[in-house]
Amino acid sequence: MVDKYSTEIERVMISAEEIAVRLKEVAAKLDEYYEGREPVAICILKGSVVFYADLIRAMKTPVSVEFMKVSSYGFGTESSGKLSVSLDILSSIEGRDVLIVEDIIDSGNTMYALKNMLATRNPASIKIVTLLDKPARRVADISPDFTCFEIEDEFVIGYGLDYAEKYRNLPFVGILKCSVYEK
């Protein structure tokens, strides 16, 4: 356990060491899939920033680096929701292979809307890689193509993921103590 926030962490779910091992495996799969190609890897801010930085360095494939900040709204029981884009990529993706790099897929609403939106820009392909997948919470009809860890329906923080903008700089994925939420 690292010092920062240590009194607020209930337990480590996925250690920094486990993450590093799994990232190498997933990076190798991505290298195999993209052999001979140079995809555009899009980091979905903010939660993906730590995963993204480690993943693209673990990959041998040359990638273009792009960043987006998006959120979904207006869903509920509808499968067609709206996507709010507060930061868009700077380059055209027409004819390019796009790799969306996400920290977590929960309801799937964000990824469903994002993938549809990017598809209108005529890329050659769109694939999704996620650090965490929570299939038990899925509402939208979307699945990641590459997953590092499938997890149960628990609220997780660390390694980019936040609670009220805290805990993103923890090196592991963990669970907070209940007392943190009660403050």
Binding pattern for the stretch 16-55 against ligand PRP, x by CB under 6 A and - elsewhere: ----------------------------xxxx--------
The least distance separating ligand PRP from the CB of residue 161, rounded to whole angstroms, comes to 7
Q: Identity (one letter) of the amino acid at 20?
A: A
- Closer CB to ligand PRP, residue 56 or residue 114? 114
Q: Is 104 in the site for ligand PRP (CB under 6 A)?
A: yes
**H or E segment at 178?**
helix 178-181
Residues 158, 168 contacting (CB under 8 angstroms): yes
- Closer CB to ligand PRP, residue 107 or residue 125? 107
* Catalytic (active site) residue 145: no
Among 26, 93, 105, 132, binds ligand PRP (CB under 6 A): 105
Q: Is 13 in the site for ligand PRP (CB under 6 A)?
A: no
Among 72, 126, 172, 173, binds ligand PRP (CB under 6 A): 72
Distance CA 13, CA 170 (A): 12
Find the DSSP H helices in 14-160: 16-33, 49-58, 109-119
